[in-house]
Amino acid sequence: MSEPGRLVLVGTPIGNLGDMSPRAVEALGCADVVCCEDTRRTGRLLKHFDVRAPRLLVVNEHTETSVTKEVVDLVAGGRVVAVVSDAGMPGISDPGERLVAAVLEADLPVEVVPGPAAAVAALVLSGLPAGRFVFEGFLPRKGSGRTERLAAVAAERRTVVLYEAPHRLARTLDDLIRLCGPDRRVVLARELTKLHEETIRTSLAEARAVLDEQAPRGEYVVVLDGAPESAEVNDDEIVEAISRLRAAGASNRDAATEVASALGVSRRRVYELATTTGHGA
């Protein structure tokens, strides 16, 4: 039986090719197969770094499940399989996780060649507490999944890091303003390491106003300050939060759920306050 190979996760730049590490170039040069999201994009990266083109295997959200067995077989057969994504660390809001789980499940080795990740770059640049943080990736786009995740984000005490597409950024900031209030600190880290890199450190309301003046373009990471420490939530805060949500068109049910979750209080208390203050519940 041949020697087992290994799966190697390789971080690649999030914009600036100068961030490609010598180890990353070496790892791709040594690989028998490189799993990538887009063969043209990875082909260009390999060419730029003079890496002879190995076999490229497309692994994206549609194919990751189906190519997993092939990858496990390759590694078991002694091949070195590298995994890259279009940018940054594979497995971080990008394919990779399933491959790692399957290779480990088969008792085969996995290695990492660390590289840039937009979430970590934005966090350390933000000036917000980085000692403890939560990475939420992309929020669900709609439905109760989004409502619940937003409420959890608003109530989170640790710094929260989100990825967001430019055309959804305004809506996400609107939702965060409703749940966190306008004054919560936020950092928009745009086009990190690229020509038009920009970091806006401000409040949620001001960040939203900036987007009205200048339509969002490029890639963004949103870094949100944790919820304030004040454990005691007073009735006025609850009533104000209900009013904001109702004014924005939320149903009684959604408003109560969001407020209870965001402020860490019981739904029953929210209902009672909503009823006595004339919001109806």
What is the binding site for ligand SAM (CB under 6 A)? 14-15, 85, 87-89, 92-94, 117-119, 163-165, 189-194, 219-221
Bridge partners, residue 185, by sequence: 203
Instruction: Give the shortest CB-121-to-ligand SAM separation in angstroms.
Output: 7
Token reading at 31: 């690989």
Cβ closest to ligand SAM, residue 46 vs residue 245: 46
Instruction: Give the shortest CB-45-to-ligand SAM separation in angstroms.
Output: 14
Cβ closest to ligand SAM, residue 61 vs residue 235: 61
In terms of Cα–Cα distance, which of 192, 278, 272, 262 is closest to 228? 262
Distance of alpha carbon 273 from alpha carbon 18, whole angstroms: 57
Cβ closest to ligand SAM, residue 85 vs residue 257: 85
Instruction: Give the shortest CB-225-to-ligand SAM separation in angstroms.
Output: 18
- Which residue number has the CB closest to ligand SAM? 88
- Angle between helical axes of 252-263 and 143-155 (0-180°, round to 10): 30
Cβ closest to ligand SAM, residue 88 vs residue 181: 88
156 and 139 Cβ atoms separated by less than 8 Å: no
Instruction: Give the shortest CB-205-to-ligand SAM separation in angstroms.
Output: 22
Instruction: Give the shortest CB-96-to-ligand SAM separation in angstroms.
Output: 8
Instruction: Give the shortest CB-188-to-ligand SAM separation in angstroms.
Output: 9
Cβ closest to ligand SAM, residue 52 vs residue 62: 62
Cβ closest to ligand SAM, residue 210 vs residue 281: 210
207 CA to centre of own chain = 19
Cα angle 195, 9, 47 (rounded to 5 degrees) comes to 55
Instruction: Give the shortest CB-216-to-ligand SAM separation in angstroms.
Output: 11
Cβ closest to ligand SAM, residue 12 vs residue 147: 12
Q: Which helix (H) or strand (E) holds 108?
A: none
Q: What is the DSSP string of 105-153?
A: HTT--EEEE----HHHHHHHHH-S--SSEEEEEEPPSSHHHHHHHHHHH
Helices (H), the chain: 22-30, 39-48, 64-76, 97-105, 118-126, 143-155, 169-180, 204-213, 235-247, 252-263, 267-276
Cα angle 208, 188, 97 (rounded to 5 degrees) comes to 125
